Amino acid sequence: MSETFTKSMARNIFYGGSAFFFLLFLALIFDTESALPETDNRLNITEQVAHGKRLWEVNNCIGCHTLLGEGAYFAPELGNVYTRFGNSKEAIMGFIKSRPVDGIPGRRSMPQFNFTDEELEAVAEFLKYSSEINTQGWPPNIQG
């Protein structure tokens, strides 16, 4: 780089540019926050959904699955599992409940979490709520 472009000019671009784009980012986040109520399905966040989210977390479901495409890629996407299972909470609960304790020989298997009926219901409600978030048309199809 030539002598006319000095280190202090480079430094000023760094501080000025970073500050400007950080403020712009904050403005966009602020705008996003005000637009979120229309897309994030917050009206359906019940106590049961919140409980379901907590169960989702403390059982580390994200360690195998994706949810809205984020997480691990070892097991199916669950953001749309409610629709994939025919809009049925019972199907979700039945699947979780029926996982064999010792797994399936040679294959990937979900652990048996020994949920109570109330917990199963909460997890299913949480996944139903997740499926109703407006994700701009993602995933491309029902397979997630």
Residues 26-65 that bind another protein (CB under 8 A): 28-29, 31-33, 35-36, 39-42, 45, 49-50, 53-54, 56-64
Intra-chain end-to-end CA distance of the chain, in Å: 49
User: What is the identity of the amino acid at 26?
Assistant: L
In angstroms, the CA 88 to CA 68 distance is 19
77 to 136, contacts with another protein by CB under 8 A? Answer: 77, 101-109, 111-113, 129-130, 133-136
In angstroms, the CA 11 to CA 20 distance is 14
Minimum distance between the CB of residue 129 and another protein, rounded to whole angstroms? Answer: 8
Residue 66, Ramachandran bin (φ over 0: left; ψ between -120 and 50: alpha; else beta): beta
Nearer to another protein, 36 or 94 (CB): 36
Nearer to another protein, 91 or 133 (CB): 133
62 to 81, contacts with another protein by CB under 8 A? Answer: 62-64, 66-77
14 binds another protein (CB under 8 A): yes
Residue carrying structure tokens 């006319």: 4
Minimum distance between the CB of residue 19 and another protein, rounded to whole angstroms? Answer: 9
Minimum distance between the CB of residue 132 and another protein, rounded to whole angstroms? Answer: 10
In angstroms, the CA 77 to CA 62 distance is 10
